[in-house]
Structure 1
Amino acid sequence: MRQTVIIKGNNYGLSVFLDPEIPMDKLLEDITAKFRDSAKFFRGAKMAVTFEGRTLTPEETNQIVNTICENSEIDISCVIDTDKAREAFFRRTLEEEAEEEGDGKPVGSGQFYKGTLRSGQVLEAEGNIVILGDVNPGARIVAKGNIIVLGTLRGTAIAGLGGKKHAIVVALEMEPIQIRIGDVTARTGGHHVFEGGAQIAYLDFGKIYIEPLCKEVIDEVSFR
């Protein structure tokens, strides 16, 4: 019988090979079974995951991440894109920074949150933060570092709190009510900025730009 889900280790964590032909609902069933059977091998493990063999939409990626987390004790730190430029970008964005505040307190260490942020909820982070889920209208994320949403961003994202101009906001689907980076605010009214694909918001010459996450944009965005 052909295996539709194959798990292998790599330098960052796990590579999950997915059958490109079977329907998505059947694939999710097979992922559930595979990770339940393998749960004892990954108990409490924190790792990055790469999906290969199948082209996934942001919604499908989110479904698969949630399925893995619900059927194992794996703490998924991030999903690494097989595109080399985007892979390097995410690793660079999520790595711990060496910055210190004036009182010597380190900032920039990564924080991860799994689940949907609903209206009225506020999530705060001293450094970078990754959301494994959606951010609904009325919810708010505040971080001194970068914000990455592995889902749909429909609420408010405040990155670079305290004036960090080189912070970024990334989402698989970008529909925010408001984004603030450093001291600059942009409002989009909760509408799609671009249809489909991961997008990045960054500050340049005092203005926030939101663009599709591609190699050209990655090369242009400045990190400090």
Structure 2
Amino acid sequence: MQQPVVLKSNKYGINLILNDHMEFKELLQCIIDKFKESEGFFKNAKMAISFEGRKLTQEEEFEIVEAITENSSVQIICILDNDQLKEELVRQKIEQFEEEQAGRTGEFYKGTLRSGQVLDCETSVVVIGDVNPGAKVISKGNIVILGALKGNAYAGANGNMQAFVAALDMDPVQIKIGDVIGRSADKTAKDRKKKKQPVEPIEPQVAIVKDGNIYIEPITKGLLNSI
């Protein structure tokens, strides 16, 4: 047999799904019993309430609210009708979608970062230029350098170990991904000047975390699919 009263909690409060055939006084007692059973879950909660499954008069709605507050510690702050409920749920879905989309987008920075400059981003970032020694890029997401990375890069600053750092010319002082730090061998200014005239073409590379260490590898289609 279908339950006379079903409680469904959500972000804004609770929705009561009520039997449409039961006598109201009997139904009211079922509501009281239901809230008494759920006292441990809803203890001292302040919430909005809505009704579904049964057409109620305003007096009946007020009587239900009064019965709930008198027989439990729940405080009903307002009553929502079905249209308000639908509007609230739609608003929540839109906000959730916007939050998810915001997490997928990234920022662009055009120009060279020079010594002492710090670029700090909440999302993934693409730098169209070089990151010179003494400069730093920090991102909660991924970092892509369309140029030379010769300074510091810190990806996954919120602890994301799946983040990566990619650069057309990978020659960093330090890379950090999540909580893992990787440093390049100490190089003199003379060494770096030699790097400006490479014997072999520069190969785009990506830094990722594997087995608790940072590895820098050539960018391949297979590697991109894996990250």
Q: TM-score, normalised by structure 1?
A: 0.49
Structure with higher helix content: 2
Structure with max Cα Rg: 2
Q: Using CA pairs under 8 Å that are at least 6 residues apart, name the structure with larger relative contact order, 1 or 2.
A: 1
Alignment TM-score, normalising by the size of structure 2: 0.48
